[in-house]
Amino acid sequence: MRIALFTETFLPKVDGIVTRLRHTVDHLQRLGDEVLIFSPDGGLTEYKGARIYGVSGFPLPLYPELKMSLPRPAIGYELSNFKPDLVHIVNPAVLGLAGLFYSKSLNIPLIASYHTHLPEYLHHYGLGMLEGVLWELLKAGHNQAAINLCTSTAMLHALSEHGIERVNLWQRGVDTETFQPHLASLAMRNRLSQGHPEAPLLLYVGRLSAEKEIDRIKPILDAIPNARLALVGDGPNRQALEKHFANTPTHFVGYLGGQELASAFASADAFVFPSRTETLGLVLLEAMAAGCPVVAARSGGIPDIVEDGVNGFLFDPNDDGGAIVATRYLLSQTEERETLRRNARQEAERWSWAAATKQLQQYYQRVAARQPLSSVA
């Protein structure tokens, strides 16, 4: 099958969406499909055998890491030459509109997927008054697709409640070969804790951006004597967070990847994730695959992954006190923490990228054959 994939973000950017797309493209190509990627120009022309058509753009004012790439006629020429069996739009926003337009004008079956809970993000950038307008725009775009895939049951219900039709679940996936508990190391723990490996070590991995609500980890850090915090990643909110966490034992590590990132997860005592806007929380699965116990907000797609008291702890997203209690308890119970580590790894082992991609292929085949699909929400 020939698949034209439109995405508003791809390599060299690092985030959960890019991680899912990297593994999906890799497995599709391995399975004999041919993928053409349309994305903001990042200097790459190929990934795992898939050609990348980079579209020039400009940085978003509120989020310079993201580029806004505008549709242009050359995209239509590329699509016509490629002759795809279907078009898949990831988070249709700007560049994705080109995929939507040309899929209709060239009569190519269309599939869309929802990965970023943009209406919720607006509130973290002082634009909450636009939420209703954004839902209407999302509905207008997504309802052009034969199927709309979501990565958690919470997002299935959210989209359905706002009038988006034909929603179905695209199951989670995680790289259990890269992220493993045995990669815990004293050297990495020493690095993350800045020379205090004996101290309780809290970890956050992900974008340093307002919607991730990383500032809400500070009360947890303050409440636990001698605890250290390592923030792995980078983003537009870094300077503000450096001020917020000034005079605390917090280490801004920057980006880590591959085995270094896997070792960071495995070497920490707790992975703290306060975000209330997650459609899935892929980074949680990576932490769990590495055997790192999770303390996370009971919100969005997170309860699909974390079973409270079994493979991690959930707290009321509006109660900082609940996060403190859960983290304190986790750190104080050595034997129970080891049980959580084992259970977290077992949960992650259920979700391979190969299985997630085969499920996606089944959706592709039905859409390409123009078989009717109904919502599962």
pTM for the model stands at 0.79
Q: How far apart are CA 199 and CA 190, in angstroms?
A: 10
What is the Rg, in whole angstroms, of the alpha carbon atoms belonging to the chain? Answer: 21
Cβ neighbours for 47, distance < 8 A, ≥ 6 positions apart: 10, 11, 22, 25, 26, 37
In angstroms, the CA 182 to CA 204 distance is: 20
Q: Find, among 18, 15, 10, the residue nearest to 42 by Cα.
A: 10
Q: Which long-range contacts (CB under 8 A, 24 or more apart) does 130-139 make?
A: 135/162, 135/163, 138/92, 138/114, 138/162, 138/164, 139/163, 139/164
- For 32-99, where are the E strands, in sequence order? 34-40, 46-47, 50-55, 58-60, 63-68, 86-90
Q: How many CB atoms lie within 10 A of CB 101?
A: 14
Cβ(216)–Cβ(323) under 8 Å? yes
DSSP 8-state assignment for residue 198: T
The distance from CA 260 to its chain's CA centroid, rounded to whole angstroms, is 19
- Both tokens of 254, joined, read 């920057």
CATH number of 2-173+352-368: 3.40.50.2000
Q: Measured between alpha carbons, how far is 170 from 228 in angstroms, rounded to an integer?
A: 36
Query: How many Å apart are CA 89 and CA 109, to the nearest integer?
Result: 11
Domain ranges of the chain: 2-173+352-368, 181-348
* pLDDT score, position 125: 63
- Please tell me the predicted confidence (pLDDT) of residue 165: 95
The Cα–Cα gap between 1 and 46 comes to: 18
For every one of its 377 residues, what pLDDT tens digit does the chain have, with 9 covering 90 and above? 999 999 999 999 888 899 999 999 999 999 999 999 999 999 999 999 999 999 988 776 655 566 777 788 899 999 999 999 999 999 887 899 999 999 999 999 999 999 876 656 555 666 667 677 777 888 999 999 999 999 888 889 989 999 999 999 999 899 999 999 999 999 999 999 999 999 999 999 999 998 899 999 999 999 999 999 999 999 999 999 999 999 999 999 999 999 999 999 999 999 999 988 776 678 999 999 999 999 999 988 889 889 999 999 999 988 879 999 999 999 998 888 999 999 999 999 988 898 899 999 999 999 999 887 766 65
Parallel, antiparallel, or unpaired for β 2-7 and 34-40?
Answer: parallel
According to DSSP, the residues that pair with 63 across neighbouring strands are 60
| CATH architecture classification, 181-348 | 3-Layer(aba) Sandwich (3.40)
